[in-house]
Each structure stands twice: as structure tokens, then as C-alpha cells.
Amino acid sequence: MSQEFIKVNHITKTYDGEKNILDDLSLTVHKGEVLVVIGPSGCGKSTFLRTLNGLEPIQSGEIRYRGELVDSKSKNITSLRQKIGMVFQSYELFPHKTILQNVMLSPTLVQKRDKKEVEKEAIELLRRVGLEDKKDSYPRQLSGGQKQRVAIVRALAMHPEVLLFDEVTAALDPEMVREVLDVILDLAEQGSTMVIVTHEMDFAKAVANRIIFMDGGHIVESGKPLEFFEAPKTERAKRFLNTFTYETVRKIS
Ligand SMILES: Nc1ncnc2c1ncn2[C@@H]1O[C@H](COP(=O)(O)OP(=O)(O)OP(=O)(O)O)[C@@H](O)[C@H]1O
Ligand SMILES: [Mg+2]
């Protein structure tokens, strides 16, 4: 088995001191693994992802990244967050900066890397997602799908060791979903380590090494994608997958 990157040990998380939003959750992510987290709305997927790079404090248990404690209040958290990049549903690009400037901002400002080098790499990354010709445009001149690809490039420009994706296609029109998912599939093929929250079940099946099905702040079931989708073990997962089939059928008819 390859190297352990993220080790989550019996964590609990509450926002109000009463209900556990994450409830005794444990898992390990190895180098090169693509983990897809699915589950009903409100089950704690986003919260979980945010705890992984210390954006949310936890109440008990611990998270380690390559042995190092992930603690939202500790001094090392800024450097840890550079290793564990995150892309959200809303891309939050700076409107008054060009696409190239948006991508170059953190590597030059936070990581203090050489401007020329960063620029060269930023252009190469934009080329990889088919957006080299947009480098001097402003975010308002791009489509949602293009902006989301820029957001992914912006995360990649920081040289993260792990990437976390939280429903990055949820706000996009259907025809733009594909172009963003293709970029993530490419990253998976190149061996990137990723934890992905998505409602796109076909994509989950294609990209994942392992599916984590969550409900009520727990991991209810985890397994290889084919096993999970073809023969879910728990009643809860079966019900969840049936709802999806129903919704898809409804959308088509
Ligand atoms: N900042 C917050 N303060 C209080 N409660 C919160 C906060 N953020 C989330 N919650 C609650 O925690 C629970 C889990 O939310 P979370 O956003 O992690 O769910 P999710 O699985 O990502 O859902 P979705 O699929 O709709 O994005 C929900 O009940 C939500 O209302
Ligand atoms: Mg969410």
C-alpha cells in the first residue's frame, strides 16, 4: 500500500455544541488515491472536506496530514493549506484581475515564487485546460465552466499534494459540467491525490478508486465504485441510489 497522506481518526464536529455533524468519523487517504464522497444533502460532506484542511475546527479525534497534526488554530495551518488545495462551488475569482493575474496571485504573494517562472507555469496550466487564449480576459468575460476551470488551475498553481473538490459543478449549466469534470478526470489519470464531493454519479463511478457514502455524519458504507453502485450493501445506500435513478428519470421525461 502506498504512503498514507490523510489520516482521520474518530473525529467529531458540532456547530452548536449539541448535534454532532460529524460523528466518530475515521478514514485514510493514500497517495494517488481518488476518494469520492457522496450522500444526501446536509449529511456533512462539505463540513468534512473543510475539516481536512483545517478550515473547520473539530471537537474530538484528530486529523493528520503525512503525520502532521491538522489543527485550525495552529501556526502551521497556512503551510498545510498550501499542500491541501481546495476548490469550491463558487470560484471567487478577483473581478478586477485578469485570468493570468488571478492564477499568479497566491504563488507569487503567498509562496513568494519567482514571477517569471510562475507566469510560465500558469500559462502552461491554462493551456492544459484549454484556456490559454483567455489569459488576458477578466472573469466576467468567461462562462461558468471556464471560470471553474480557472479556479482549478489557480489551485494547481500552488503545487498542492492533495486536492479537495466540493461540488465544483453544482452551479454550472449542464453543458458546462462535462468540461470541468474532464479536467478532474485528467488529474486522476495523472495520479493526483483527490477527495471529491459530487452529486454526479456517473462521474463518481468513472473517477473514484473508492466511494465513501455518508449519512448523518457517519460513513455508512465504503467500497470500490463498481461494487458500491452495482451492489450496495446497506439499505440506506440502496435507498439513496434509487432516489437518484428516480430524479434522473424525472429530468429526462
Ligand atoms: N456554519 C454552520 N453553522 C451551523 N450549522 C452548519 C454550518 N454549516 C453547516 N451546518 C449544518 O451542518 C450540517 C451538514 O452541512 P454540510 O454543509 O456539511 O452538508 P452537505 O452534506 O455538504 O450538504 P449538501 O449536499 O447540501 O451540500 C447541516 O445540517 C447544516 O445545516
Ligand atoms: Mg455541501
pLDDT in tens, 62-104: 999 999 999 988 888 989 999 999 998 888 899 999 999 999 9
Ligand 1 binding pocket (C-beta < 6 A) is: 15, 21, 39, 41-47
Asked if the model's pLDDT at residue 12 lies above 90, the reply is yes
Q: Are 30 and 80 in contact (CB under 8 A)?
A: no
Residue 250 is predicted with a pLDDT of 57
Asked if the model's pLDDT at residue 7 lies above 90, the reply is yes
For the segment 94-116, what is each residue's pLDDT rounded down to a tens digit? 999 999 999 999 999 999 999 99
Strands 210-215 vs 34-38: parallel, antiparallel or unpaired: parallel
17: left (phi over 0), alpha (psi -120 to 50) or beta: left
For the segment 144-194, what is each residue's pLDDT rounded down to a tens digit? 999 999 999 999 999 999 999 999 998 888 888 998 999 999 999 999 999
Measured by CA distance, the residue closest to atom 27 of ligand 1 is: 41
Measured by CA distance, the residue closest to atom 31 of ligand 1 is: 42
Residue 167 is predicted with a pLDDT of 93
Reported confidence tier of residue 253, pLDDT bands at 50, 70, 90: very low
Separation of alpha carbons 72 and 109, rounded Å: 22
Q: Which of 18, 97, 108, 29 is nearest to 64 (CA)?
A: 29
